[in-house]
A = this chain, B = another copy of it.
Amino acid sequence: LRNGYPEVIYSPGKTLNQIKGIVENMLARSTGNILASRAERDVFDTIKSITPDAIYYEEARSVVVKREEYKTTDDYILVVTAGTSDIPVAEEAAVTAMVMGNQVKRLYDVGVAGIHRLLGNVPIINHAKVIIVVAGMEGALASVVGGLTDKPIVAVPTSIGYGASFGGISALLGMLTSCASGIGVVNIDNGFGAACMASKINKL
């Protein structure tokens, strides 16, 4: 149905046996790529034992059963992070977008505490077709990027931080109430969902 897109398995809460069954079923039923998100190494090992086409993108915690080449686009999705700790979520977004057939660029660790690093990267921001901003703590990066560009922004709050970060709630609220207009927000740590939204936009 969802032409060109991989089939997707959300790994948490499934036993290795269940995942094995689902993948075997997909392998039998179709010929496209398969993406298992939020996959720990044992999930990868399980899938690898069924098919040699399995690849593990460790930092993204994503397994791809790559049965056909990824497509790509002329336009690119830019994935931006505030800090180092936001990278796993950003990689989930980047790998998902790539598997969905998009060109992806990365701009990591440009948080507003050292704003000059961000200001030195305005061109790569403005040449993107759509931008995914990944940030925890107060999530201010989404507002600042929104103030620097007119491109559509998909914002991903992360659960990074402690105390009043409240597992990502502060970043989530900050992004929802951003003074920069035109920011669509997804669930905390939801790199996958951000990539889905960005991919739909990038391919328009």
Q: Is the CB–CB distance between B137 and A140 below 8 Å?
A: no
Option from B129, B147, B164, B197 in Cβ contact (under 8 Å) with A115? B147
Q: Give the distance in Å from the alpha carbon of A97 to the alpha carbon of B115 in the complex.
A: 25
Residues in B neighbouring A181, C-beta threshold 8 A: 113, 192-193, 196-197
Q: Give the distance in Å from the alpha carbon of A115 to the alpha carbon of B162 in the complex.
A: 28
Q: Give the distance in Å from the alpha carbon of A162 to the alpha carbon of B158 in the complex.
A: 11
Q: Give the distance in Å from the alpha carbon of A144 to the alpha carbon of B178 in the complex.
A: 14
Stretch at the interface among A24-32, A46-54, A61-69, A169-177: A169-177
Chain A interface size, as a band, is 35 or more
Q: Is the CB–CB distance between A182 and B188 below 8 Å?
A: no
Name A151-175 residues within 8 Å CB distance of B.
Answer: 151-152, 154, 157, 159-175
Expressed in whole angstroms, the minimum distance between the Cβ of A132 and any Cβ of chain B is 11
- The complex is assembled from copies of this chain, and their number is 8
Q: Is the CB–CB distance between B176 and A174 below 8 Å?
A: no
Residues in B neighbouring A169, C-beta threshold 8 A: 173
Closest B residue by C-beta to A117: B147
Residues in B neighbouring A170, C-beta threshold 8 A: 170, 173-174, 176-177
Is A190 interfacial (CB-CB < 8 Å)?
yes
Q: Give the distance in Å from the alpha carbon of A143 to the alpha carbon of B140 in the complex.
A: 7
State the A residues within 8 Å of B (CB): 2, 12-14, 18, 82-85, 111-115, 119, 129, 137-140, 143-144, 146-148, 150-152, 154, 157, 159-190, 192-193, 196-197, 199-201, 204
